[in-house]
Amino acid sequence: MNVLVINCGSSSLKYQLIDSITENVLAVGLCERIGIDGSTLKYTPQGGEKIQVVSPMPNHEVAIKMVLDALVNEEYGVIKSLDEINAVGHRVVHGGEKFASSVVITDEVMKAIEECNELAPLHNPANLIGINACKALIDVPMVAVFDTAFHQTMPAEAYMYGLPYEYYEKHKIRRYGFHGTSHSYVSKRAMDIAGLDPNNSKIIVCHLGNGASVSAVLNGKSIDTSMGLTPLEGLIMGTRSGDLDPAIVDFIANKENISVDEVNTVLNKKSGVAGISGVSSDFRDLDNAADEGHERAQLALDMFNYRVVKYIGAYIGALGGVDAIVFTAGVGENNGIMRKQVMSRLAFLDVTMDDEKNKVRGEEMIVSTPDSKVKVIVVPTNEELAIARETVALVK
């Protein structure tokens, strides 16, 4: 069966059409600038050239209609009719405490997702718009796959904040974690690749992209992760600060004479390696600048690595040991130098890297030596495939 995977943002929409039997991507692309001037559809059919169409997309329904038209287009389409789309899998950012796994979308589920909107005001409403737009155009079963679901197995000692308990009861303020589809997919692949027992394994997954998070996976279940109520907590990221003293919010607001909302924007959009370096949020730019002697670019890279090492150390404590440390996402999959630097600081674990294998980019590979006590593994994440698999499992 063919599954259309949709990842809907407020002004963008990423999509893939996946044949669930061969797991081939039949078509992939995105709509950008929805509701803004210069809306663009990008579309690449399997084995074909990328196509770009600039055309007004006043809303998500128009955007999805354009995607569907491209999929059945006589010249570059990959299916003959929309009947060949059997199900749709939607990425939904926040499932709160209501969703510990993926679900078939019903009216009740839509209501429950809407109730999570205040926990992810920038993302969930856009996800709902995407679901509604799809429902208006095709009548097939749809599944919601939540970014938070995999981390719902965290125990209370890991997910509670040291705040008055009533804030948890009244406002559901707790740690939820994100990137769950990626952490789940990558930890399972790592178990397969390294031959680890799903019921007796301690894995740390480092999802290091523009957004970044680490998770501790015990016997296949997430027991802790670095992101919290929102994706701001944890690692230093492309533009997010990660962990800091909460008193800093008020301090910046006073010193800079800006509102708490504005501080929030600074912490999410102007901080992280971009804010520290003053160069870029892109790690390739930072690597180049550091090579040319840019001190703050080097500092940003060192701080990023150091924070990753700290979280790995903390999670070895949480897991009571570690069998495998796994790297994924843009930086984790491609940047062997970062992997080597992080693992060098953990050499006391009797980890040894295979420098040749560690040159790998974007390929599944054990990059530690056979005698290394802890396995280090690169696993390219594939959230779309994971969403398609979840969708098929529920729809069948």
User: Which residue, 116 or 120, has its beta carbon nearer to ligand AMP?
Assistant: 120
User: Which residue, 96 or 330, has its beta carbon nearer to ligand AMP?
Assistant: 330
Torsion of the alpha carbons at 338, 318, 189 and 206, rounded to the nearest 10: -20
What residues form DSSP beta bridges with 45?
Answer: 27
**Lookup: tokens for 264:** 């929030």
Site for ligand AMP in 341-370 (CB under 6 A): 361
Query: Within 10 Å of residue 268's Cβ, how many Cβ atoms?
Result: 17
Residue 166: CB minimum distance to ligand AMP, A:
37
- In the bound state, the residue with its beta carbon closest to ligand AMP is 330
Q: How far apart are CA 63 and CA 364, in angstroms?
A: 34
From 83, 107, 147, 371, active-site residue: 147
Among 15, 159, 283, 304, binds ligand AMP (CB under 6 A): 283
Amino acid in the structure at residue 356: E
Among 153, 210, 341, 369, binds ligand AMP (CB under 6 A): 210
Among 282, 303, 341, 357, binds ligand AMP (CB under 6 A): 282
Site for ligand AMP in 126-145 (CB under 6 A): none
User: Which residue, 70 or 208, has its beta carbon nearer to ligand AMP?
Assistant: 208
Amino acid in the structure at residue 314: A
Nearest to 242 by CA among 231, 252, 256: 231
Binding mask 321-340 for ligand AMP (x = CB under 6 A): --------xxx--xx-----
Nearest to 159 by CA among 174, 169, 144: 174
Residue 178: CB minimum distance to ligand AMP, A:
12
**Lookup: tokens for 183:** 């952490």
**3-class DSSP assignment, residue 200:** coil
Residue 330: CB minimum distance to ligand AMP, A:
2
What residues form DSSP beta bridges with 30?
Answer: 14, 42
Query: Within 10 Å of residue 23's Cβ, how many Cβ atoms?
Result: 11
Q: How far apart are CA 364 and CA 190, in angstroms?
A: 9
Stretch that binds ligand AMP, among 7-15, 64-72, 115-123, 277-285 (CB under 6 A): 277-285
**3-class DSSP assignment, residue 361:** coil
Site for ligand AMP in 226-245 (CB under 6 A): 238
Among 284, 291, 350, 393, binds ligand AMP (CB under 6 A): 284
Residue 182: CB minimum distance to ligand AMP, A:
9
CA angle 82, 83, 85 (to 5 degrees): 70
Cβ(6)–Cβ(13) below 8 Å: yes
User: Which residue, 60 or 207, has its beta carbon nearer to ligand AMP?
Assistant: 207
Residue 271 touches ligand AMP, criterion: CB under 6 A: no
Catalytic residue check, 371: no
User: Which residue, 271 or 335, has its beta carbon nearer to ligand AMP?
Assistant: 335
For residue 291, give Cα distances in angstroms to 93, 138, 288, 301: 37, 51, 5, 11
Query: Residues interacting with ligand AMP, by CB under 6 A?
Result: 209-210, 238, 282-284, 329-331, 334-335, 361
Q: Give me the active site residues, please.
A: 147
